[in-house]
């Protein structure tokens, strides 16, 4: 799985998501993250097919939504997503949220899809440490990925350490906190020092934390700019300053209350 990709949450199915994905692929992105809940899997599939880039070079993630969780319903939901995307195999399939009393059965369905070769990898999204412990206690396959809200106001250090310890890759959704953190003076100061944008500083901080990141955008200039992360490095002091912004504050739902 690439370290860096494009998220397409709230990108409208049709021209908007097609153009966003094709722009991303044209400037070098090779990871596209969608979900059945986003309602744009058809557009994502079309953009990839029409891009001229071989399918095996693009890593595609989608997710099973809460209403579809459970063993048989997850298998059915997967086939619907696969049909909409238009691919024989999905690279990564995730449980979107840890729905109480359902996610263990949902995981059994994901394990079947994995063993049947319909997905290359399986994982979870929005799982806390206690969810992961419960899942691993009742399963034979460890999640490859845990996609969670992660940004300088929610650094989730314990979760990151737990995932690293168990070879689960943490992946950041909403890494830019919907733009809320970009004007912070600490981020601005570090951005000025490196001659980079505040968004590039935060996304680089993700990568140096060992966290895969999938910022979302439909604007061409932002998609290009977000990817310009590999010609500089944050110092240990930079990293410490950004870490210090943590407030354990979420902008999305708490997985335990959702």
Residues belonging to the active site: 38
The contacts of residue 232 (CB under 8 Å, 6+ apart) are: 194, 195, 196, 204
């Amino acid at each position: 799985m690439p370290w860096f990709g494009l998220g397409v949450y709230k990108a409208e199915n049709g021209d908007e998501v097609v153009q966003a994905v094709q722009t991303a692929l044209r400037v070098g992105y090779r990871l596209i993250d969608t979900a059945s809940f986003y309602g744009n899997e058809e557009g994502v599939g079309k953009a990839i097919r029409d891009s001229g880039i071989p399918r095996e070079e693009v890593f595609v993630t989608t997710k099973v939504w809460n209403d579809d969780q459970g063993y048989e319903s997850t298998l059915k939901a997967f086939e619907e997503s696969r049909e909409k995307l238009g691919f024989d195999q999905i690279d990564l399939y995730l449980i979107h949220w840890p729905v109480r009393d359902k996610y263990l059965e949902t995981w059994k369905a994901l394990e079947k899809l994995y063993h049947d070769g319909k997905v290359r990898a399986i994982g979870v999204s929005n799982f806390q440490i206690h969810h992961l412990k419960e899942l691993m206690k009742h399963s034979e396959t460890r999640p490859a990925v845990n996609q969670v809200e992660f940004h300088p106001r929610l650094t989730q250090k314990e979760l990151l350490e737990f995932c690293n310890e168990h070879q689960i890759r943490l992946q950041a959704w909403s890494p830019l906190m919907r733009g809320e953190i970009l004007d912070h003076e600490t981020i601005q100061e570090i951005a000025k020092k490196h001659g980079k944008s505040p968004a590039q500083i935060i996304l680089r901080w993700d990568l140096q934390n060992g966290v895969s990141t999938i910022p979302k955008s439909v604007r061409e200039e932002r998609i290009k700019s977000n990817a310009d992360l590999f010609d500089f490095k944050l110092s240990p002091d930079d990293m410490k300053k950004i870490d210090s912004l943590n407030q354990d504050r979420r902008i999305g739902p708490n997985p335990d209350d959702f």
